[in-house]
């Protein structure tokens, strides 16, 4: 099971880096990728430019990123065996007089309701 998680983490890191690179390579609103190198966009990637190719690659990498994220989350949640939330049962409340926080240090002790003194 551990080797699966390691492989998925490796794929996740590679996909993350490739996704960042493909997003950064995509042209802005008025800019083309080819103008950075002194030419036009048609001269580097053909008549249609790089936009359709980069869009397909970005979609594919985004789907891979989502799948690896979900699988890592699944394996992470599967390994949790305890909780930080502690259950307070009915028997716990009956021993503390109905108060879930009775008996905390620094609290004053309550006086008996019937007026009896304790020794």
Locate 59 and state its tokens: 């979609």
What does the mean pLDDT of the chain come to?
74
What tens digit of pLDDT does each residue of 67-93 get? 999 999 998 888 767 766 776 565 555
pLDDT band for position 52 (cuts 50, 70, 90): confident
User: Running DSSP on this structure, what letter comes out for residue 89?
Assistant: -
CB count within 10 Å of CB 20 equals 11
Report d(CA 27, CA 51) in Å as an integer. 7
Report d(CA 31, CA 40) in Å as an integer. 10
Res. 15: pLDDT tops 60: yes
DSSP 3-state assignment of 34?
A: helix
Q: Are 61 and 19 in contact (CB under 8 A)?
A: yes
CB count within 10 Å of CB 50 equals 18
The CA-to-CA distance between both ends of the chain, in Å, stands at 61
Helices within the chain (DSSP H only): 2-25, 41-45, 51-78, 90-95
């Amino acid at each position: 099971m551990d080797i699966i998680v390691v492989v998925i983490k490796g794929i996740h890191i590679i996909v993350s880096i490739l996704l960042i690179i493909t997003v950064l390579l995509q042209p802005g609103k008025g800019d083309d990728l080819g103008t950075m190198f002194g030419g036009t966009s048609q001269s580097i990637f053909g008549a249609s430019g790089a936009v359709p190719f980069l869009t397909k690659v970005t979609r594919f990498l985004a789907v891979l990123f989502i799948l690896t994220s979900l699988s890592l989350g699944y394996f992470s949640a599967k390994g949790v065996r305890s909780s930080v939330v502690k259950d307070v049962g009915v028997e716990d409340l009956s021993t503390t007089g109905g108060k879930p926080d009775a008996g905390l240090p620094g609290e004053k002790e309550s006086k008996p309701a019937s007026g009896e003194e304790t020794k």
